[in-house]
Structure 1
Amino acid sequence: MDIERAHIGRRIRELRKWRRMDQQAVAGLAGISTSYLSRIERGERPVTKRLVLERIAAALRVSPAELTPEIDLVTDDAGTETHSAMATLGDLLGGWWVGEVPDAPGRPLPQVLDELARFHAARNSGGAQAAGDYATQVATLAPLIRDLLVAAADPQLRREALPPLLTAYHVAGSISARLRIPGMPSLAADRMWQVAAELDDPVWHAVSQWGRALFLSGTNRARQYDLAVAVADQAPADRAETRGMANLTAALAAAARGDGDLAETHLAEAAAVAERLDSDTSPWPSGIMQFGRTNTAIHRVAISVELGHGARVAEYASSVRTDTISRGRQAAFWVDYGRGMLTERRTRDEGMAALLRAEQLAPQQVRTNVWAREAVTGLLGTGVRAARGRELRFLAWRMGIAPTG
């Protein structure tokens, strides 16, 4: 079965031929078998680990982002609005440095801070409340950033406006990373660094450096790991959340490089930090970290999948209290849990149910998730019993993954 625009294998084959490399050469450089690479290229095996994706990308001398198929968001009015909103946000991030004043006058700062607080609360809600789709979120976020830039240029308002501006930049980077907008996550991280420099505060400097490490992602795992470890070692102890999140970022970077022992070390350090907090999910800093016991457990599930533990993720998943964290983080947990359960035939139904639950929580996030798409693509090529088969085909259709033969 061929899956239109869905499997990474087609892009790998195109780039391999463009490089004039045979499968044996690419497989050897990536540390996988030629038969495995051949099945990936034919769409018979999904790519289920960051390690495999990034090694193949390195063998082809491209960014991992070059291997993931573009997702056509412009299939309805919501998709068109998302592109338009991201263009507006990109112009704002690229056109104005911290300290410069946008053309439009700003609204009163108390009004702006109240609206930003409600925006963060909606994004972090674990219940029925939600911040809306990406277009809605960006449409709310862009004018808030503009207003905060205006306030930050006022000497009397500067200290009050800068920390919320840093959190708003982080959200911009997070959304653009999920939508895979090239360059925008790094630009958002750069703006976070500028805010931290203006504040001249070690607490916010550490937050900005963690954001830099987080948004670096698969483009350079070794560098991501080094940056995250530096934050984990140097962040002020009075805001332990930053140290905890930096350890989680370092753990995922280590797992993506295939170093399970190092990943476990950083997970243990993050867990120790989380145990010292009063709640399962810390509200600091507003809207961006959600560090605590729940987030650490969610990362443990994700890292277990990366390390190839398969259905054993159920052991770690049992400790996750999803009700204490945002719908977006819940959806990420269910995607990773589903990926793990799908590796074995006996737990495949449970894995399918997990993907459906993730989609119910955050449909747009799941649709743009590379690993969710690969999991669905892989399922389409297997024998799934009739009832689940119908659910799977409808899920694939909603994600824009369509069988062509």
Structure 2
Amino acid sequence: MEQADERIGARVRYWRERRKLGRKQFADMVGRSTSWLDKIESGERELARLPMIERVAEVLRIDPTVLTDDHRDQRARQCVDVGEVQAIRRALAAYPGLRTSAPEADFGTVARQASYLDHAWSMSRFTVVARHLPGLMAEAQVAVQTVSEADRVAAYRILVTVYRLASSMLLKFETNDVAWLAADRAMNTAMRIDDTWSLARATRSVARAMTSIHERSQAIATLLAMADRMRPEVNSNAAELLSLHGMLYLAASITAAGQEDADLAREMHEAALASALIYEPHYNDHHTFFGVTNTQIHRVSALVRLHECGQALEFAATISSRAVAALSAERQANYLLDLTEAHAGVGDYRQAVRMLGRAEQIAPEEVRCRPLAHGLLRSLLNNTTGEPGRLVRQMAGRAGVEA
């Protein structure tokens, strides 16, 4: 059986590497030598004194119990934490353009990394995104300054994508003030290149950030202004722009529902559906998964926000489960979270538990780590008994949620 000091040492190494701290750097921060650290991480030396455990945990920006308790360590590893949010914040605070000289970025590597993180996001692998995003942000910022003219638009699109990922990540974990900064950076970057593709993507991020600070009317106005601006280009370049155009209307529909404007939410849904009905599978959807199915599940989400839970469930019953299964894990999980809320809203807690359990199976981090899902878990803990109650308690335990 693995000894306790070996387990603690392995955890110190894991969190040091996750924080991207070198051996000497970390040892200096703790006030010890690298040989001391090597012995701790190998299990040769015991990390037993509470003051030193607390000091190591402070440097690693984790709770001390993460080093000493198996369950807390396992739970902490599966979620984005405060240290990674701070790293994203620090990356947003950098202005590489102020440097008199900057090393050239390998544009091919930057492009591949951006694509990888975009895919990780679609799979709800938020810890993967959070660990690599700050470094990619710095490299993408350099890339726009150093690439050849032939790659200039592509480099700006990558930087917009990186800022959008940062904003979306921060909104998932309700760090709304910094999410607004990241979205604004995306929009300003898109405006510098005056590229419709970039502007459409940045607009969605800005609108979501506006919504998070309760500026819904301005968010809708911004979305519709961009939709109007890009319409002539959509007609001539549907293969690249149609999905992004439709997603602007979907975002407007959800935002209108959030301010309880049912008529506008319906109008925006129908506008998105009109685009979806002429959408073809070979069009480039830029990880939006745009199409009829995504438009339908957004309608369910809008109805939930309008507190029309019964209507939301009736509409959901018309959506093909096979079509939903073809969407990304992130889209599927968020749809299931909406269904969880809808079933709870009509008092069907057994089905609510079932939907939340399916969401956890598809995208564990969506349920175990997000504040939104934690709120659903607390509600279900207070409203379920018997077998559903037992299942909720198990999910809550994995998420570290108490009633």
Number of residue pairs the alignment of both structures matches: 320
Deviations 1:257-295 (CA, angstroms, capped at 9, x unpaired): 11111111100100111111112x96433x4x3322222
Question: Identity, % of aligned pairs?
Answer: 26
Kindly provide the amino acid, as one letter, of the partner of residue 208 in structure 2.
Answer: L
Asked if the contact 1:210/1:231 (under 8 Å) is kept, the reply is no
Q: Report which structure shows greater RCO (CA 8 Å, sep ≥6).
A: 1
**Residue matched to 2:180:** 186
Closer/same/farther in 2, CA of residues 373 and 83 from structure 1, 3 Å limit: closer
Q: Which blocks of at least 5 consecutive residues in structure 1 are unaligned?
A: 1-71, 125-129
Query: Residue 164 of structure 2 aligns to a residue in which SS?
Result: helix
AA paired with 1:105?
P
Give, as a single letter, the amino acid of the residue that structure 1 aligns with 2:182. Answer: A
- Which residue is equivalent to 2:362? 361
Cα gap change, 1:116 to 1:101, in 2 (>3 Å): farther
Q: Which residue of 1 aligns with 2:312?
A: 313
Aligned-partner SS, 2:93: helix
Distance 2:194 2:161 in 1: 16
Contact kept? 1:90, 1:184, Cα under 8 Å: yes
Q: Tell me if the contact between 2:223 and 2:248 (Cα under 8 Å) persists in the aligned partners.
A: yes
Work out whether residues 378 and 402 of structure 2, in 8 Å CA contact, stay in contact via their aligned partners in 1.
Answer: no
Question: What residue number does 1:381 align with?
Answer: 382
The answer to whether residue 82 in structure 2 is matched with residue 87 in structure 1 is no
Matched residue, 2:216: 221
Q: Tell me the equivalent position of 2:227.
A: 232
Structure 1 359/282 Cα, relative in aligned 2: closer, same or farther at 3 Å? farther
Structure with more helix by fraction: 2
Query: 1:52-86: per-residue Cα shift (whole Å, max 9, x none)?
Result: xxxxxxxxxxxxxxxxxxxx9x8544279632222
Q: Distance in 2 between matches of 1:131 and 1:104?
A: 33
* Aligned counterpart, 2:303: 304
Whether 1:392 and 2:392 are equivalent positions in the alignment is yes
Relative to structure 1, the CA distance from residue 102 to residue 267 in structure 2 (aligned partners, 3 Å threshold; closer, same or farther) is farther
**Structure 1 residues 328 and 80, CA, compared in 2 at 3 Å: closer, same or farther?**
closer
1:150 Cα deviation after fit: 1.6
Distance 1:228 1:146 in 2: 28
> Structure 1 pair 104/139, CA: closer, same or farther in 2 (3 Å)?
farther
Cα offset, 1:339, TM superposition:
1.0
Which residue matches 1:352? 353
- Which residue of the partner structure matches residue 36 of structure 1? none
Paired residues of 2:79 and 2:365 also in contact (CA < 8 A): no
Pick aligned residue for 1:207 from 185, 188, 201? 201
SS in 2 for 1:329: helix
TM-score (norm 1): 0.72
Is the 2:124–2:366 contact (alpha carbons within 8 Å) kept by the matching residues of 1?
Answer: no
8 Å Cα contact 1:178-1:369 kept in structure 2: yes
Q: Deviations over 1:232-257 (max 9, x none)?
A: 22224231223211111111121111
Residue type at the aligned position of 1:92: A
SS at match of 1:365: helix
Inter-CA distance 375–151: structure 2 relative to 1 (3 Å threshold): closer
Instruction: Give distance in 2, aligned partners of 1:372 and 1:362.
Output: 12
Q: Tell me if the contact between 1:85 and 1:139 (Cα under 8 Å) persists in the aligned partners.
A: yes
Distance 2:293 2:100 in 1: 39
Asked if 1:245 corresponds to 2:240, the answer is: no
Report the Cα distance in structure 2 between the residues aligned to 1:363 and 1:271, rounded to whole angstroms.
Answer: 30
Q: Provide the rounded CA distance (Å) in 2 between the counterparts of 1:308 and 1:224.
A: 21
1:401 alignment partner in structure 2: 401
| CA drift at 1:94 | 1.7
Q: Which whole-Å CA distance do the structure 2 matches of 1:101 and 1:145 have between them?
A: 16
Contact kept? 2:124, 2:329, Cα under 8 Å: no
Distance 2:91 2:100 in 1: 9
After superposition, the Cα gap between the structure-2 partners of 1:293 and 1:364, relative to the gap in structure 1 and judged at 3 Å, is: same
| Deviation for aligned residue 1:161 | 1.2
CA spacing shift, 1:87–1:385, aligned 2, 3 Å: closer
Q: Decide which structure has the larger Cα Rg and report it.
A: 2
